[in-house]
Every structure is written in structure tokens, then in C-alpha cells.
Amino acid sequence: MRIKVLGSAAGGGFPQWNCRCSNCDRLRAGLLKGPARTQAQVAISPAESSWLLLNASPDLRQQLSEDPEFAPREGTRGTPIAAVILTSADVDCVLGLLHLREFQPLLIYSTSSVRRALTEENTLFRTLERSNPPVRWEVLPLGQAIPIFQPAPPSKRANLLCKAVRLGGNFPDYVSEQLRQSLKEEEAVIGLHFVHNDKQFFYAPTLPGRAEEWKRCVSDSDLALLDGTFWSDDELIKIHGSGKTARNMGHLPLSGTRGLLEQLQLNGNVRRVLMHMNNTNPALDPESQENRTVRDAGWEIAHDGMEFEL
């Protein structure tokens, strides 16, 4: 299975268009040595010429058109994208679905609560119904591995299995109180645990850290791409003078007591990679102490264009 990081930043990208934090300012001035980043997007390929998108970022059109592997292959219209798998109804995870609306039949996997949050109140998403056949939604049940990609016969390749792992997050603010009452909160934010042949991959770009199962998923995996949004819990408050804490926004910070680095000290062979990096995160600067701390703890930081093979 191939895994591609098409975008590695949190919402807003890096630099963020309206942000003058030290990172964004120095990146624009050429003083920060790291690369610019588009908003979080991962694609996985369980078989040649077939791709599954993990979420659909606001930068999806740019991300797909810059990579020849996603170009249409045959006929006058087509795509190697077999399906989209959503981890939440967050704007940064779903806005790209609208980029895929060009009369292209789509298969979307999500929890039933995420599907309802998107389709029952957001009439804009009805634009996906215009293709023929219209968009098809498949339910991702919590805690149960389901086959998500079955290679066509006579291929003897294994199915790709995907299990939705509850992470304990909340629905986005745009979901009305009325709808919220009939949704299941445990379905709001999930991690994706993939098994393909004898390899395992865990994906959690948003990790609220309020449930514990994710740790076992990481330690069972060969590769884990995890939430690296914020370095510290009060990062936005310190930089912008106001805002929510990282934990209140549903992100376990990297540093501090019960932060991600402290909670996940593995000695095994799991390749641990941070993504969904917010533009304010000091670890984005390759010359910072925070970046060194991350690397010394055995982590890598994803960049746009990073690839893995499992």
C-alpha cells in the first residue's frame, strides 16, 4: 500500500493568509527554512491506479491537479479516486468534497452522524447529488473492521480493511443544537485503522485524546500519522492574545503533562509522523528547540509530498 501526504498543515495552511505570527511572517520573508504547506490531505493506494482520499481538504483541487497520478486515465471524464473516507464533519475535512462535484459519481465513507451533519442541514452538499449515479454514502461502523477496497478478480491481492476508532471529540460549531441531540457524539471524530496484507496504518489528524483505544492502534501499526496541530495547550492564546486552548479545540498538544509526546513513548518499530501542523506550531521551524525535541523523541514531521510504502 502506498500512502501520500498531499497536504500537511492544519486549517489555514502555512503560511495562513491572514496570520502574522512569527512562523508565518518569517516564512514569507524567507527566514524560516521549512517548506510552505497546504491543508491536511492524505491519499492511500491499495492497488495500482486506485486511490482513496482520507478526508477532502479545502486545497484538494490544487493538490490533485499538481500530481499526475490523480489525472483522469480513460475516456473524456474519470478519476483514479475510488472513494473518500471522512474522519469528521469539520470544515477542513469536507470542504474538498465540493471540488469533487463535477458530475463525478462518488463513494463516501463516514460515520452515520457525520453524514447526517453534512447532508441534513447543509444544502450546499446536495450539489454532489447531481452526478449520475449520485454520490453514495457508506456507513463506517465504530470499532468494526470492514472491507473498504476489494480488488477486482482475478487479482489475488488482499482486501483493504478499515476500522473506525472513536477518539472522543465533538461536532463542529456549525452543527445546530437541535441536530446534535439526535447524533452520537462518539461518532463525531474518528481515527482510521487500516489493515492491508500484514501491514497496519493508523490515521488520526485530529486527536482529542479523550478515549484510550488509539494508543493500542498506534502500537499495533507499522505507520501512524497523528495530530501535530499545536505544540502547547495555550499556543493560540499566547500568540494572538485570545482564543481556545488546544484541548478545547479537540487537539492533544504535543508538549506538557499528558501531551502527545509524553503519552506515546514507544520503543517498537512504529514509524510515528506528525501532521495537521498549525502555522503557529514552533516545531515547524527546523532550527527550533521544539523541532529538535520532536525528533529526539523519535517523531518525524510530515511535509507536502511525503510518501510511504507499506
- Which residues are near Zn ion by CB under 5 A? 16, 19, 21, 24, 279
Distance CA 107, CA 247 (A): 32
CB nearer to Zn ion: pick between 16 and 87: 16
The closest alpha carbon to 88, from 273, 259, 276, belongs to 276
Extract the runs of DSSP E, i.e. beta strands, from the chain.
2-7, 41-47, 50-54, 81-85, 107-110, 136-139, 146-149, 160-166, 190-196, 199-204, 223-227, 271-275, 299-301, 307-309
Q: How far is the CB of 227 from Zn ion (least distance, A)?
A: 18
CB nearer to Zn ion: pick between 233 and 235: 235
Q: How far is CA 223 from CA 165, 218, 240, in A?
A: 16, 8, 34
Q: How far is the CB of 20 from Zn ion (least distance, A)?
A: 7
The closest alpha carbon to 293, from 285, 89, 90, belongs to 285
CB nearer to Zn ion: pick between 12 and 80: 12
CB burial string 113-139: b at 16+ within 10 A, e below = bbbbbbbeeeeebeebeeeeeebebee
Q: How far is the CB of 239 from Zn ion (least distance, A)?
A: 8
Name 283's Cβ contacts closer than 8 Å, sequence gap at least 6: 228, 231, 254, 274, 277, 290, 291, 293, 294, 301
Q: How far is the CB of 280 from Zn ion (least distance, A)?
A: 5
Q: How far is the CB of 238 from Zn ion (least distance, A)?
A: 13
CB nearer to Zn ion: pick between 19 and 273: 19
CB nearer to Zn ion: pick between 8 and 279: 279
Contact between 280 and 10 under an 8 Å Cβ cutoff? The reply is no
CB nearer to Zn ion: pick between 24 and 53: 24
Q: How far is the CB of 112 from Zn ion (least distance, A)?
A: 36
CB nearer to Zn ion: pick between 100 and 236: 236
- Biggest alpha carbon–alpha carbon distance for the chain: 60
Q: How far is the CB of 302 from Zn ion (least distance, A)?
A: 18
